[in-house]
Amino acid sequence: MSAGRPRTILMWAGVCAAIVVPLAASALSPLLAWRDPIYIIAGFAGVVGLALLLLQPLLAGRFLPGLRGPRVLRVHRITGGFLVLAVVVHVLALWITSPPDVVDALLFVSPTPFSAWGVTAMWAIFLTALLAIFRRRVKLSPQSWRVAHMSLGIIIVGGTVVHALLIDGTMEFLSKLALCALVIWATFKVALQQVSRGRQQRR
């Protein structure tokens, strides 16, 4: 067995555990009792979105063993698409559950403090997806794209993490806290990587 094989296995096992444990804890939450199916779908879509948010910086920074070159970019785009889908399902399911609450959140007049953070992250996710789709048509330079993408990514992560931590919902607190910490760590690591790469290119 090569020296890198155990490291690869440990890395993937850690990433899978960071994603599966919060999902399993949410599925076993006593708060799901007597909840309507649409409410459960809304909650799980949010948990899945947070889990996907961990994968995105890991993919962008090429930190996941076995994924390199065009393949990692393709997986990054696909994961981004699923992230957008998770957000759409989350919002639509909440709309079905309680339209007035969603309207208040979208208008930033909701009395719940976590709503504004979630909506801010949502619009940043949608804007990132639109930029990714139309970046060639608007002739966005690679450097401008990296700056815009990373800036929006920081807004997405910050808004989502605060949104998740302020909600006392189906996610078990310790596993949620660990997942949020990993998302912040991965995003911060990629941001440092991008800054370092930009400095090297200017020299």
Sequence ranges of the domains in the chain: 4-202
- Is the separation of the CB atoms in 122 and 88 below 8 Å? no
DSSP class of residue 64? S
DSSP 8-state symbol, 112:
S
**pLDDT (0 to 100) of residue 22:** 92
Buried b (16+ CB within 10 A) or exposed e, 11-27: beeebeebbebbbebbe
Instruction: Give the per-residue pLDDT at 202.
Output: 60
Q: State which amino acid sits at residue 111.
A: P
Distance CA 27, CA 134 (A): 38
Shortest CA distance to 161 belongs to which of 61, 36, 22, 33?
Answer: 22
Round to whole Å and give the CA distance between 116 and 162. Answer: 10
Looking at residue 65, its pLDDT comes to 80
pLDDT in the model for residue 94: 94
Using CA of residue 187, residue 191, residue 194, residue 196, what is the dihedral sign? negative
The parts of the chain modelled with pLDDT lower than 70 are 1-4, 197-203
Strand ranges (E), 78-140: none
